[in-house]
Structure 1
Amino acid sequence: MIVGKLVGTDGAPLENISVSLKKAGTGVNTEADGSFKLRAEAGVQLLHISGLGYVTQETSVEVVAGKTTTLPTTTLRINEHELAEVKIMEQRSLNQRPASISKMPIAPLDLPQAAVTIDRQVLEQQQVLRLSDALANISGLYVTSTTGGTQEELGSRGFAYGSNNTFKNGVRFNNGVMPEASSLERMEVLKGSTAILYGNVAAGGVLNLVTKKPQFERGGSVGLRVGSFGFWKPTVDVYGAVGNSQKVAFRINATAEKANSFRDKVESDRVYVNPSLLFELTPNTTLVLEGDYLRDNRTPDYGIGAIDYQIQESRTRFLNVDGANNATNQTSTTATLTNRLNDNWQIRGVAGFQRYANAQRSASRPVASAVPATYGNLTRGLQRSETNENYYLAQFDLTGKFRTGFLDHTLLLGADADQYQTTAIAYTNPDSKLTANAANTAFDIINILDPNKVIAQPKERLTGFQDLVRNTYTKGNTRRAGFYVQDLLSVTEKIKVLAGLRWSYQETPSDVYYYNTFVNRNTKPAPVAGTLVNNRRYDNAFSPRLGVVFQPVKTTALFASYSNSFTPNTGFDLEGKSLAPSLIDQYEVGIKNDLFKGALSANITAYRIVNSNQSQSILPTDPRFGTSRTPSPQELAGQVTSKGVEVDVQSKPVNGWSVITGYSYNNTAYTNSNIYENGSRLRYNPAHTANLSLFYNFSSTFGNNTFLRGLSAGFTTYYVGDKLAGRNPRLLDPATGLAWKTADANKFITIPNYTQFDASLGYSYERVSLRVKLANILNELSYNMHDDNSVNPIAPRNFSATASYRL
């Protein structure tokens, strides 16, 4: 036996240093106190001692049979010629990196569905601040609106990404507030139907935000970002082992943000903290605990207004009242337990909780008037609301690989259950009657075109938010559950089949209480006779999936797939029964390529999505209307069709260059409607988008010993074209079933096309880095809109700079 101890030049013990017998090839690592014990055969042995960052030593030791040879304490010197920094870059292509949102350990090349992953290096290189900044990397994913300027609503393939379609670490995320981008490790987008995996999701796809994880190696960074319009944002990211543990690691991301705006009177401030812990319970079992806290306060901003469905061009016009505020607090925690049973099988359990609370005080939205009789005069009312939501999730997945006969299987078995507990309080004018649609009285009158214009004010009006009293108290308690199975069968090396089925159940109770506004103005709800409205819905649906992948060569895959999803409806049929969910069929074909030995991935996808049983009103002119047991009967007889093409191209870093580019075309329209013209496009969905990001790292050309080695530069451009808002013109009045008397009662609003061009420059030296960015260099003007309100201009040309220090 050979025993000894290793210390550094400061006398401190050295842990995890390799000590081995050079001839035999066997060895051990030193313990926490620097000691080691090594069995050896009798005779002269050559001892090899090495550790990262230290000078390697070799020494001869004479070992006597049956005795322990004790070596004197050995001091290792630091290797001054060790590389100052080693960067390990992602070397798998876009089609080789599995996305955790797919729940299966298969490469995207084997998946009959379009998928895109954007890693942290790209997000940092482009200095992404909001999710909308990252859209320049993903074709067909776009901003639909920014209602009130408090959130970014996304869409894809003609369908909105609501909270059901937005995830963080695999758990649904309430997108009523802008998520924090500085904590992201990557963004994952699974396009098309994912109902088999997640149940009630829209047909366009899902977005998963993956946060940075704990590491046992100590490190981190601190930074400060400043920019136009009084923007500043300090950040900190610290990670490492807890103490000297090899079993527990931590990470803490935190940031604060404060800014004014290019918009008059608009300001914001927010605080974000993202702590996480990693436990290696056994060599095959890990537990990750992740927390998330976000406090976001900002001025609600419903934009510049419109007159007769015409945008009154401006970038700065502010139409809200003084004192308007939108305050959101969001807290969440997630526990993920993963156990690798063997090389082929793994189980994974996820438990999540999220608390969302929002309080808003604002003027009512400036809705576009059908007839411009007031010449820009706008009567502002006041509105106030409070929303609270508790969300619970439990999910279990079993994945494994096995073989039956000539078939290789990659199997997923899973179950999930979640619950939304929501409460919402709406306020109204105390003089209003006790009805669900009690209107607010006026606060004042301004002019959209000339805010300084003096206008006679209403004689009786609210003096402030303190005059509003509680009107309704709504309780919701949505409960969902699902069971699913999915199998990827490798029929041959070139042919794969993905088949699966999910059953989903959803229960949606809702209770509405009306306050006695004349007695209990600001107390708990006081339901009186006839003031409670109950609504109960019970829905279930099957979601099948079938896809075929053909790989003529290992780097190319052609695929075709069918899947469907469902959307619960809220209406009632002729007999007063609740409408069944609408089932949405989706067909997708495409080709995925890894070109130039995997240096470039180029994918093309074409899709057709058909909701052939969309809910629509039965008109009063319909003979069946007179036999209806419900006052507003509906039926599943409408149809909406979405079709399009998407192109995604992404490269690995090659000779310093990296490129991401893409293009999408989409047409989503009514194809069978009793109110709207067939072929009439749905709003918010751009017909065309295009994106290009090109960056160059000078170190690959100029080596490691020049001033330019830390320099990088690049640009990002994003085009959005042919987009509509406003309200779809109707052929018939749904209230009467007759033709509109006024042809222009509803109108589209055409949103200007635009191309946003951003340029970035970065420089790193040892532990310090500096990045600068000039956004919207061309100073393009366009808008994000919701219906005929929330006409929110995009930001003008602006500047930002980020300085950071690596710990």
Structure 2
Amino acid sequence: MVKSLNRAPSWVLLCSVLPGLAIAATELPSSVIQATGEGDGADSYTQARGETASKSATQNRDEAQTVNAVTARTLDDYQVKDLNDAMRFVSGVTQTNTLGGTKDALIKRGFGSNDDNSILRDGIRSAIGRNLGATTDHVEVLKGPASLMYGALEPGGVINVVSKQPQFTRSTTLSASGFSEGGGSLSVDTTGPLGDTDLAYRLVAERSHEDYWRNYGTDEHTLIAPSIAWVGERASASLAYTYNDYASPFDRGTVFVGGRPADISYRDRLDERWAKTVGISQSTTAKFEYQLGDAWRSRLTYGWTQDRYSLAIAQPNTLNGNTLRRIANGGHYDYESRYTALDLIGDQQLFGQRHEIVVGLDNESLDKYRGKTYRNVNTAAGNIDIRNPVYGRLAEPSTVSATQSNAENNLVTTSLYFKDNWHLNDRWILVFGGRQAHWDQYSDQGLGRSYAPGADSNGDEFIPFGGIVYQPSETVALYANYSRSFVPNDADDAGNSFKPTEGRSYEAGIKYTPTAALNVNLAVYDIEKKNLVNSVLQSNGDSLDEAVGKARSRGIELDVTGEIAQNWSVIGTYAYSHTEVLKNAEAPEQEGNRLPNAPMHTASLYLTHHLALPAQTGRWHVGAGARYVGERPGDNANSFWMDSYTLADAFVRWDLPTQGYETRLQLNIDNLFNKQYYPSTTGSSTLQVEEGALRTARLTASVKF
């Protein structure tokens, strides 16, 4: 039987590391790092500065890469609850296999998965399944290969979830929401200085219990996130800890028949009431900074994330007519990341030219462990009629598989890296750098006599980056870059490890800022990825990992964000992405195919208007928009496709005319026209196609004082 984890929080972590959220910029000496987040983008759909591309606050127009942001205002206006949904406001990023709705799973420029380690929390790689929540301030997206700054990564890009930070201005916000399907949430967010000291605190807490939009299931969590920051004359330090106790449905979606969705109920699930994920996620981030002089500062960073969970699945196996055969599977998982880095960050004048320099040394460990793994036998009890499902016949998973239990994969990398934004003059910026990485990886699996060692490999990689920025005016920046990426393969061929997956990218674009409140970004790119490894079925019935080939993605992206007129704001995106399998040694018939879950066309347009009404009535804000996702192949063979879809969303917010308090009422409606749609598949099966939520509404009330 799959059981819940022990739910006692690890409070000892609060005392075990140095402090770790970035320090607020309020009234700090000029030598102390300036924080992004609350302020830049706090009341706008655009953000001029970010930290993801260079690990320090840098103007986005000075970077030779595409940097997009989903600001705090955007997240609040559209009441975004998960990272997959937040990416509707960014071009070229779409959903892929979410593992039954339990993982952030995003394709960036054609590449990505739910397990590609491309999600960062405050610049530190996260092992947690779901990363956006009540602690999130805003999200930054760095497009293209990001291995220069962040090591082993897929070539599509990284997504950095930036946390709310302790502030030296006291405030408390209380919020409550009700959900149209049933249930709701309560939260508190309080921050301020600690007396007359140089310390500031923040505490975010939330309890949520909401009914799932399909015919059964609940989604709930209890979150608590304290943080503290200290600022001295030359030094600063901070610590943040997040604890999240959660449970959510594990929903494999629906089935396709003859390349089309089966003609069955859209709301009825095809699994069991016990099909869910229960777990605890935790994270700790610690930073210490010291100003070495007018031009240089040092930063010591420590980060730790962990996601410990159990899951139970009524796994679809075969479909015969209207009878779907399912097998009860499950397991216990422990995913963990640890990160330590020492950075020297300089803004240096050399021979009359400005250099924004980052030199760093980091060590990172990624551990993925699956303990007891349950694989029940295939019996008639697993049968269910997809037209008239009856639940309760299939028992929860309880049979331990010796061969698949105790599966572990560990990747440790140690790297030295360097980046320089060299301002040649007022118009030209040369951006260049490199990372020298050494990696060690091993894996094993099995219990007792079934134990089998897996990949055990190591190697060295040098990752170069080169780019150029030309700014002919204060409003226009042209840029181009060449970059590379790498990811060690965790697969092996009878004990022989494969070469790391490698990517290379060319990109060029234009950044146009006609006003401080409006950004327009246009980019074109070409990415290739090689040394792909697939599990290939052999003639004897066994599966064997084999290096099979190369894939490419080419595309165009357009993002328009900000204020287009007084009281009018816009978010507009368009992306054309053509993915293609260039080589597949084991399945040459798939050469030329598109990559699964990757649409060729996506677009969105959202408008917000602040109504000009008498002050005594309060302030009213309305917003609405739509997003389009083109058709996508459901598997590598392109044997079936998911249709394109367009969804509309809207909100109205009333800022009440109360004295001394910021009081708000807000109504959000998602999928306004109740559209049925299919956002992603597992990438291999017509029996596991995710369904998107039908129309839902959320009423939120908050007061800030």
TM-score interval, normalised by the smaller of the two chains = 0.7 to 0.9
Alignment of 1:383-402 (within 5 A): 383-402=329-348
1:490 aligns with 2:423: yes
Give the counterpart of 2:190 among 238, 250, 272. Answer: 238
Provide the residue aligned with 1:273 in structure 2.
224
**Quick one: structure 1 residues 389 and 402, their matched pair in 2 at CA, closer, same or farther if it must change by over 3 Å?**
same
Please state how far the C-alpha of 1:96 moved relative to its aligned partner. 3.1
**Quick one: structure 1 residues 792 and 381, their matched pair in 2 at CA, closer, same or farther if it must change by over 3 Å?**
same
Provide the residue aligned with 1:609 in structure 2.
527
Provide the residue aligned with 1:565 in structure 2.
485
Whichever residue aligns with residue 451 of structure 1, its letter is P
> How far, CA to CA, are the matches of 1:130 and 1:498 in structure 2?
33
Give the counterpart of 1:728 among 612, 636, 653. Answer: 636
Give the counterpart of 2:60 among 104, 108, 114. Answer: 108
> How far, CA to CA, are the matches of 1:752 and 1:109 in structure 2?
37
**Quick one: structure 1 residues 239 and 654, their matched pair in 2 at CA, closer, same or farther if it must change by over 3 Å?**
farther
Whichever residue aligns with residue 616 of structure 2, its letter is T
Alignment of 1:175-190 (within 5 A): 175-176=128-129, 178-190=130-142
Residue-pair matches, total: 653
Alignment of 1:418-437 (within 5 A): 418-428=364-374
1:555 aligns with 2:475: yes
| 3-state SS in 2 of match to 1:679 | coil
1:802 aligns with 2:700: yes
Provide the residue aligned with 2:441 in structure 1.
508
Please state how far the C-alpha of 1:467 moved relative to its aligned partner. 5.2
> How far, CA to CA, are the matches of 1:547 and 1:88 in structure 2?
26
**Quick one: structure 1 residues 665 and 488, their matched pair in 2 at CA, closer, same or farther if it must change by over 3 Å?**
same
Whichever residue aligns with residue 420 of structure 1, its letter is L
TM-score w.r.t. the length of structure 1 is 0.76
Give the counterpart of 2:576 among 665, 671, 685. Answer: 665
1:166 aligns with 2:62: no
> How far, CA to CA, are the matches of 1:501 and 1:572 in structure 2?
29
> How far, CA to CA, are the matches of 1:666 and 1:298 in structure 2?
32
**Quick one: structure 1 residues 425 and 318, their matched pair in 2 at CA, closer, same or farther if it must change by over 3 Å?**
same
**Quick one: structure 1 residues 672 and 324, their matched pair in 2 at CA, closer, same or farther if it must change by over 3 Å?**
closer
| 3-state SS in 1 of match to 2:674 | coil
Give the counterpart of 1:465 among 394, 397, 401. Answer: 397
Give the counterpart of 2:324 among 357, 378, 387. Answer: 378
Checking the alignment, whether the CA contact within 8 Å between 1:429 and 1:440 is kept in structure 2 is no
| 3-state SS in 2 of match to 1:779 | coil
Alignment of 1:2-401 (within 5 A): 94=46, 96-100=48-52, 102-160=54-112, 162=115, 164-176=117-129, 178-242=130-194, 244-280=195-231, 282-313=232-263, 314-364=265-315, 366-367=316-317, 374-401=320-347
**Quick one: structure 1 residues 679 and 342, their matched pair in 2 at CA, closer, same or farther if it must change by over 3 Å?**
same
Aligned-CA RMSD value: 2.8
Checking the alignment, whether the CA contact within 8 Å between 1:101 and 1:190 is kept in structure 2 is yes
Structure 1 alignment gaps of length 5 or more: 1-86, 431-438, 515-526, 622-629, 730-746
> How far, CA to CA, are the matches of 1:586 and 1:545 in structure 2?
10
> How far, CA to CA, are the matches of 1:453 and 1:476 in structure 2?
36
Q: Deviations over 1:262-300 (max 9, x none)?
A: 2112222111111110112x2222111011111111221
| 3-state SS in 1 of match to 2:471 | strand
**Quick one: structure 1 residues 592 and 805, their matched pair in 2 at CA, closer, same or farther if it must change by over 3 Å?**
same
Alignment of 1:399-414 (within 5 A): 399-414=345-360
Provide the residue aligned with 1:642 in structure 2.
553
1:764 aligns with 2:655: yes
Structure 2 alignment gaps of length 5 or more: 1-38
> How far, CA to CA, are the matches of 2:406 and 2:200 in structure 1?
44
Whichever residue aligns with residue 354 of structure 2, its letter is D
| 3-state SS in 2 of match to 1:748 | coil
**Quick one: structure 1 residues 474 and 493, their matched pair in 2 at CA, closer, same or farther if it must change by over 3 Å?**
same
> How far, CA to CA, are the matches of 2:101 and 2:496 in structure 1?
39
> How far, CA to CA, are the matches of 1:614 and 1:378 in structure 2?
33
Q: Deviations over 1:211-247 (max 9, x none)?
A: 11111222111111112110301111111122x1331
> How far, CA to CA, are the matches of 2:199 and 2:572 in structure 1?
40
Please state how far the C-alpha of 1:156 moved relative to its aligned partner. 1.1
| 3-state SS in 2 of match to 1:604 | strand
> How far, CA to CA, are the matches of 2:318 and 2:582 in structure 1?
27
> How far, CA to CA, are the matches of 2:339 and 2:530 in structure 1?
31
Checking the alignment, whether the CA contact within 8 Å between 2:277 and 2:312 is kept in structure 1 is yes
Give the counterpart of 1:448 among 386, 397, 401. Answer: 386
> How far, CA to CA, are the matches of 1:771 and 1:235 in structure 2?
15
**Quick one: structure 1 residues 783 and 706, their matched pair in 2 at CA, closer, same or farther if it must change by over 3 Å?**
same
> How far, CA to CA, are the matches of 2:44 and 2:608 in structure 1?
18
Please state how far the C-alpha of 1:343 moved relative to its aligned partner. 3.2
> How far, CA to CA, are the matches of 2:48 and 2:391 in structure 1?
62
> Which gives a bigger RCO, structure 1 or 2 (Cα 8 Å, sep 6+)?
2
Q: Deviations over 1:94-113 (max 9, x none)?
A: 57323345314431111111
Whichever residue aligns with residue 581 of structure 1, its letter is P
Checking the alignment, whether the CA contact within 8 Å between 1:548 and 1:560 is kept in structure 2 is yes
Checking the alignment, whether the CA contact within 8 Å between 1:759 and 1:774 is kept in structure 2 is yes
Whichever residue aligns with residue 174 of structure 1, its letter is A
Provide the residue aligned with 1:51 in structure 2.
none
TM-score w.r.t. the length of structure 2 is 0.87
